[in-house]
Amino acid sequence: MSRVNDHHTETTDTDGGGAAGASAGVVPEGSVAVRARQGGGSPGRTPGKGDRGNRSGRTGSRRAASGTSPLVSGGWTPWLYLAPALVVLGGLLVYPIYQLGLISFFQYTQAQVSGGEPATFEGFGNYAELFGDPQFWQVLLATVLFAAACVVSTLAVGCALAVLLTRVRAVPRLALMLAALGAWATPAVTGSTVWLFLFDPDFGPVNRMLGLGDHSWTYGRLSAFFLVLLEVVWCSFPFVMVTVYAGIRAVPGEVLEAASLDGASQWRIWRSVLAPMLRPILVVVTIQSVIWDFKVFTQIYVMTNGGGIAGQNLVLNVYAYQQAFASSQYGLGSAIGVVMLLILLAVTSVYLRLLRRQGEEL
């Protein structure tokens, strides 16, 4: 392991990450190689040592950066440039978040919306109602499990196909890339309807091919979730595949060659060489997938027709929507929104900490 790493460090230092430049085009050359090296160096060491190593790497790169590109302090100019963005984000992101929190503390139903009754402050009343409702816990559990299943499947499929891409010639690679781009580009609504049609009990080709007769996939709770999972994986694995593939291309071929000459299997190469080197990229795609899959809305809403039979396929997002817009329980819906926001903020803070530990310079 360490021998492979040393070898790798030497080669990246001499040829300066040409592969990264080739795949990255406009982006400054060699950054993947640099980052991959940092990631590759740390896993074997204790966290403290790894941190120190990264920190020294960071100051080094800062010094190098300040030599070539000094940032100027432009007085008010940067704020002038930032103003439109800050106004838009303040008005349509920060303010709504504040309002979401506010509404969640009020009794807010159709009567208050139409102005018939004043909104009454309820304190944590909505939250108490929510946490006392067994359906909420059931939905929360379903959301977490469903998101976890989606993330794991997406990452597994995406990484496996990225490795596969590196082992084939141009034509099969292009075919797979184009197919993946097509899946990626498909809007969530159309993807959902198309997958429903594929698995339709009466006219769908899948049941014919599998000889399932008129088995309904959306009737059972698990099979409905499974169908949605297939669609989610189908439309989100391309992002993982493309990103990881770009990362692998930046790894010098000699490293992989050395490993395979030493008799390492594909799985072993992935686990002991590629995965540690690609750790920074894997962190990004994992967190990104967690965030996307945790708040899946369209697929569940369309494919299970608003949450499935008796709400069996509800996830938090759809649940909040149904409470607010179908049952006019805006206060309760907002409380669910706050819970979602807090969970995702927790995920984000883990992400930021991981980035920091990798010596990310913002």
Render 263-288 in DSSP notation, one character per residue.
T--HHHHIIIIIHHHTHHHHHHHHHH
Restricted to residues 264-323, the positions that interact with another protein (CB under 8 A) are 280-281, 284-285, 291, 294-295, 297-298, 301-302, 305, 317, 320-321
- Kindly tell me which of 49 and 194 has the beta carbon lying closer to another protein: 194
- Kindly tell me which of 2 and 171 has the beta carbon lying closer to another protein: 171
Restricted to residues 117-136, the positions that interact with another protein (CB under 8 A) are none
Q: Does 61 bind another protein (CB under 8 A)?
A: no
Q: Which of 14, 46, 71, 134 binds another protein (CB under 8 A)?
A: 71
Pairing mode of beta strands 120-121, 106-107? antiparallel
- Kindly tell me which of 152 and 176 has the beta carbon lying closer to another protein: 176
Restricted to residues 76-115, the positions that interact with another protein (CB under 8 A) are 77-79, 81-82, 84-85, 88-89, 91-93, 95-97, 99-100, 103
Show the CA angle centred on residue 326, arms to residues 233 and 92, nearest 5°. 70
CB 281 within 8 A of CB 244: yes
Q: What are phi and psi of 213, to 5 degrees?
A: 65, -135
Query: Smallest gap, in angstroms, from Cβ of residue 92 to another protein?
Result: 4
Q: Which of 68, 116, 263, 267 binds another protein (CB under 8 A)?
A: 68
Q: What are phi and psi of 204, to 5 degrees?
A: -80, 145
Query: Smallest gap, in angstroms, from Cβ of residue 46 to another protein?
Result: 26
DSSP state of 92: I
Query: Smallest gap, in angstroms, from Cβ of residue 146 to another protein?
Result: 15
Please state whether 307 falls in left (phi above 0), alpha (psi between -120 and 50) or beta. Answer: left
Angstrom distance (rounded) from CA 22 to CA 248: 12
Q: Does 12 bind another protein (CB under 8 A)?
A: no
Options 41-49, 128-136, 221-229, 338-346: segment touching another protein (CB under 8 A): 338-346
Q: How many residues bind another protein (CB under 8 A)?
A: 112
For residue 120, the one-letter residue type is T
Q: Pick from 255, 259, 359: which is nearest to 6 by CA?
A: 255
CB 303 within 8 A of CB 213: no
